């Protein structure tokens, strides 16, 4: 770890056979204006996607909400992975929230990660990930760790 660079920490736990998955980007020291800017873009994209999640939304629609915000900010090419994935007994399960491939409707009881990210070669990156339960009327964020810079 170098001083004045973002630190991405991705971790989880297993409890009674079920997995969790969470990522936070820590900004230690003096971080560039560009990293501060992309942190805000990633957080806005993540929060918008979470607000959109509910039964009947498809995996591609969910990805598109976050991807559109990141594209509009000019960082679409730097968001190279999907929005998230299912979690349960395995850390990576179906459904996969991404822009291509299978398109599945979200159903009550599913738990998915919501983890947009922007990665700038030579500068660092930002990813913010939470675990989200799809409920009958919307969704509930299961992770509670602070997301402020």
pTM: 0.94
Is 62 a domain residue? yes
- Local structure of 131: helix, strand or coil: strand
Give the CA-trace dihedral at 102, 107, 109, 113, to 10 degrees. Answer: 40
Give the residue from 55, 78, 56 showing the smallest Cα distance to 66: 78
Q: What is the pLDDT of residue 1?
A: 57
Is 94 a domain residue? yes
The CATH number covering residue 58 comes to 3.90.230.10
Is 87 a domain residue? yes
- Local structure of 67: helix, strand or coil: helix
Is 1 a domain residue? no
Is 147 a domain residue? no
Cα→Cα distances 73→30, 38, 78, Å: 23, 9, 11
Structural domain range at position 79: 6-141
What is the number of domains present in the chain? 1
HSE on the CB side for 20, CA within 13 Å?
A: 16
Q: What is the pLDDT of residue 39?
A: 96
Give the residue from 2, 42, 12 showing the smallest Cα distance to 147: 42
Q: What is the pLDDT along the chain (149 residues), one digit of tens a residue?
A: 566 788 899 999 999 999 999 999 998 888 889 999 999 999 999 999 999 999 999 999 999 999 999 999 999 999 999 999 999 999 999 999 999 877 899 999 999 999 999 999 988 899 999 999 999 999 999 999 999 87
Is 146 a domain residue? no
Is 148 a domain residue? no
Is 116 a domain residue? yes
């Amino acid at each position: 770890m170098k001083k004045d660079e973002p630190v991405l920490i991705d971790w989880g736990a297993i409890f009674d056979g079920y997995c969790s998955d969470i990522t936070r980007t820590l900004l230690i020291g003096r971080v560039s204006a560009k990293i501060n800017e992309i942190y805000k873009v990633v957080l806005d994209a993540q929060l918008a996607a979470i607000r959109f999640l509910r039964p009947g939304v498809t995996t591609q629609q969910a990805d598109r909400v976050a991807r559109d915000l990141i594209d509009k900010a000019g960082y679409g090419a730097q968001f190279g992975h999907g929005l998230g994935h299912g979690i349960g007994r395995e850390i990576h399960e179906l459904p996969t929230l991404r822009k291509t491939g299978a398109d599945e409707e979200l159903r009550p009881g599913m738990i998915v990660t919501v983890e947009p990210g922007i990665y700038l070669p030579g500068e660092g990156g930002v990813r913010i990930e939470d675990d989200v339960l799809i409920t009958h009327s919307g969704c509930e964020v299961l992770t509670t760790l602070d997301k402020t810079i």
